[in-house]
Amino acid sequence: MIVKTKQVVVLEEGTYNATVSSVTPKPNEAKPTKIVFGFKVEGYDKEVLKDNPLSFAAGSPLRSDTETILGRSFTTDEANEGIDLNTLVGKACQITVFHKAGSGGRPKPAVSMVMPAA
């Protein structure tokens, strides 16, 4: 049997055009404490993730990212009524990717910033 190292392709740090590919409550949908956005970058097979604390208050990362993806600010009434975050799936944006330590100390791409689509 021949055993060899698996080649792992890691997305380089930088800014990319992306599409929202998933919105996942963590640890579960019944009692979420954070929302994880998944982004798809063309030519990269894996989702790149961004965790946001579950707060939709003005200025919070979750609200800021949601407004950026939608391309507009929420009114107070809209924010109080809430939004179905699943409506963001398929929306275009730009993301800035950085590397954080993954398992075994290997670099793992993550999203540091969400910006409007180019």
Where in the chain are the domains? 14-115
CA distances in angstroms from 71 to 62, 91, 97, listed in the order given: 14, 10, 20
Count CA within 13 A, CB hemisphere, residue 79.
Answer: 16
Count CA within 13 A, CB hemisphere, residue 77.
Answer: 0
How many Cβ atoms sit within 10 Å of the Cβ of residue 63? 18
**14-115 CATH fold:** OB fold (Dihydrolipoamide Acetyltransferase, E2P) (2.40.50)
pLDDT score of 75: 83
- pLDDT tens digits along 80-100: 888 899 999 999 999 999 999
pLDDT score of 6: 65
CA distance 1 to 19: 41
**Average pLDDT score over the chain:** 91
Helix (H) or strand (E) holding 65: helix 61-70
- pLDDT tens digits along 46-79: 999 999 999 988 899 999 999 999 999 988 888 8
Query: What percent of the chain lies above the pLDDT cut of 70?
Result: 93
